[in-house]
Structure 1
């Protein structure tokens, strides 16, 4: 659901950049009040995992469309809404700059649509309510599916509102909404199942890694993890490498939900825009994108996809960890 620059007017792009930046600043402020340095490696590993998982587009049967994991709900169920939101920013930033996945002008919109709802509505509302009286695999599954479906619906609706405010006349609001919402409902269901699988694994391996707004894990004291921290992270790291380097090659070639919706309405998978701002954004992105569309420039070699997945995951991990130290996260202020 990464929006291209052509879908947003500069004024809308600036507004969404401001909304995302304010939320980022607030998240940094909240995290600085925490004293949980163990979250640093978790942010890195899970950020890399989400980056890799987003490379796998899964086919939505009978539609000719595909979808991919957004990851906000998954990250926030482990890291909490604030650290989850910052980790998602790292993922989306690297996708935009290094791989030209989503426009630079539209980055603020993509952060809001793909990260804000999953991390804050998904975690602070849906996850919190369902886990109120303790965690279980059944509750985790329900929260994952319900949270993914609802937050993806909110994200898809935001896309239609942003195009409406931008005056993209090729995409009439009513028709765009009627096309976008059903396909993203199906995508949200699949994302929910994937999210539930990962979270249930963590619940069995190290249940205390799962987030609770009460400051406790919400897990019964009798519940013991089956793996050590080191083993849990090793499994997640190995799975991330396998997804990025191998499974990404099996990604569906069908257009994702947003591209599919645009094609259904206009007959083409994307709309065009021209102007000084759009030209400047495209020029910047052409300079920063070392592996555009997760491939070698001018080549269809599958090695480019594998390399992009592995490099991207490593860069996301590095950015997340480095940001923790740069912003001095997880350290209490001294009087």
Structure 2
């Protein structure tokens, strides 16, 4: 259920609301650095605000938490506003870089040298980020944890799994190859709050996770391309 909520909160709003209804109309065909930057920031802010509101609403509807709706909402929205602004500028930086090496890739489809250059550069950055920079991930609470902490004084709520939730938790514990983005260990990790935290498990999970996501995206892209091509051929006939 958590995975489904995350896909909706972080994927649906960005891909099906922010991008087609905000980013594309703002950028249009004559994209400029300024226009891309503004559109990226606005789109990211809107997507995160909608996602943050959905988290609060889903928590309320789930009935498994006594978080006060109004107070939770008033904490979630401002912190995700700040996060959205930062993510918007990061997105703008990536898009503007791609535009600088292969402008047609931002607006249309390109397969030239600029396309290969962009793919290579972004792949290298992804490997560095997932393999090394992940060691420097903040140990401070994220937006959701920060909001919960400001209500209850701690980042996680006490809960007693029961019923189907208990069964799914057992399955997860048995099948998770790298729980908490690291290799399973029976040792007491007393220094888990250390920063930075060089860990081969973190590196492997970052690289493998990135590769899996890339493989899924490529697979869906190939399937959609073939489906679109097949549909077009039928219409043409």
- TM-score above 0.5: yes
Q: Which residue number corresponds to residue 230 of structure 2?
A: 332
Instruction: Note the C-alpha offset of 1:168.
Output: 3.9
Equivalent position to 1:296, from 170, 183, 186: 183
Instruction: State the distance in 2 between where 1:312 and 1:133 align.
Output: 34
Instruction: State the distance in 2 between where 1:273 and 1:111 align.
Output: 25
1:229 lines up with 2:126 in the alignment = no
Unaligned 5+ segments in structure 1 are 1-104, 218-223
Mapped contact 1:296–1:304 kept (Cα < 8 A) = yes
Mapped contact 1:203–1:225 kept (Cα < 8 A) = no
Equivalent position to 2:147, from 258, 261, 282: 261
Mapped contact 2:36–2:92 kept (Cα < 8 A) = yes
Unaligned 5+ segments in structure 2 are 190-197
Q: Which residue number corresponds to residue 120 of structure 1?
A: 16
Q: Which residue number corresponds to residue 12 of structure 1?
A: none
Instruction: Note the C-alpha offset of 1:322.
Output: 3.1
Instruction: Note the C-alpha offset of 1:329.
Output: 4.5
Mapped contact 1:295–1:304 kept (Cα < 8 A) = yes
Equivalent position to 2:172, from 285, 288, 294: 285
Aligned residues: 221
Distance 1:312 1:109, change over 3 A: same
Instruction: Note the C-alpha offset of 1:209.
Output: 1.6
- TM-score when scaled to structure 1? 0.61
User: Which stretch of the first structure deviates more once superposed, 320-329 or 144-153?
Assistant: 320-329
Q: Which residue number corresponds to residue 176 of structure 1?
A: 72
Instruction: State the distance in 2 between where 1:308 and 1:160 align.
Output: 29
1:194 lines up with 2:90 in the alignment = yes
What's the RMSD between the two structures over aligned residues?
Answer: 2.3
Instruction: Note the C-alpha offset of 1:229.
Output: 1.7
Distance 1:225 1:324, change over 3 A: closer
Instruction: Note the C-alpha offset of 1:284.
Output: 2.5
Instruction: State the distance in 2 between where 1:118 and 1:325 align.
Output: 22
Q: Which has the higher helix share?
A: 2
Higher relative contact order (CA 8 A, sep 6+): 1
Instruction: State the distance in 2 between where 1:330 and 1:240 align.
Output: 29
Instruction: State the distance in 2 between where 1:110 and 1:151 align.
Output: 13
Instruction: Note the C-alpha offset of 1:141.
Output: 0.3
Instruction: Note the C-alpha offset of 1:169.
Output: 4.1
